[in-house]
Amino acid sequence: DGGITQSPKYLFRKEGQNVTLSCEQNLNHDAMYWYRQDPGQGLRLIYYSQIVNDFQKGDIAEGYSVSREKKESFPLTVTSAQKNPTAFYLCASSIRQAGEQFFGPGTRLTVL
């Protein structure tokens, strides 16, 4: 089955710790995206990548970092510099020349 997987589904972190969220896709999509979702604020773009070894900051990149070493993988690191990291994180991918973005099931991060 083709799709996007995110792991873990739930993640708990202590303040001051970095944590990495996994995103893998087997759709052969070139572009991948990370969004943050907070209640009442919709989806906000953190980082996106159109090709391997290249990525750009989105609207709320501060306190986050990414890498794109493989086409199918786009991990997101939430660093201790992110002041309010508790949120629902969504990964998405798309064919570069088409509009539809396919979303993964999400990871809910809670900072204790």
Partner 1 sequence: QQQVKQSPQSLIVQKGGIPIINCAYENTAFDYFPWYQQFPGKGPALLIAIRPDVSEKKEGRFTISFNKSAKQFSLHIMDSQPGDSATYFCAASLLQGTYKYIFGTGTRLKVLA
The residues that touch partner 1, with contacts defined as CB under 8 A, are 4, 6, 31, 40-45, 48, 50, 56, 58, 90, 92, 94, 96-106, 108
Closest distance between partner 1 and the C-beta of residue 97, in Å? 8
Closest distance between partner 1 and the C-beta of residue 99, in Å? 4
Of 37 and 80, CB closest to partner 1: 37
Beta-strand runs (E) in the chain: 4-7, 10-13, 19-25, 31-37, 43-51, 54-57, 64-66, 76-78, 87-94, 102-103, 107-111
Of 63 and 106, CB closest to partner 1: 106
DSSP category for residue 38: -
Of 11 and 43, CB closest to partner 1: 43
Q: Is the dihedral of CA 55, 59, 61, 66 positive or negative?
A: negative
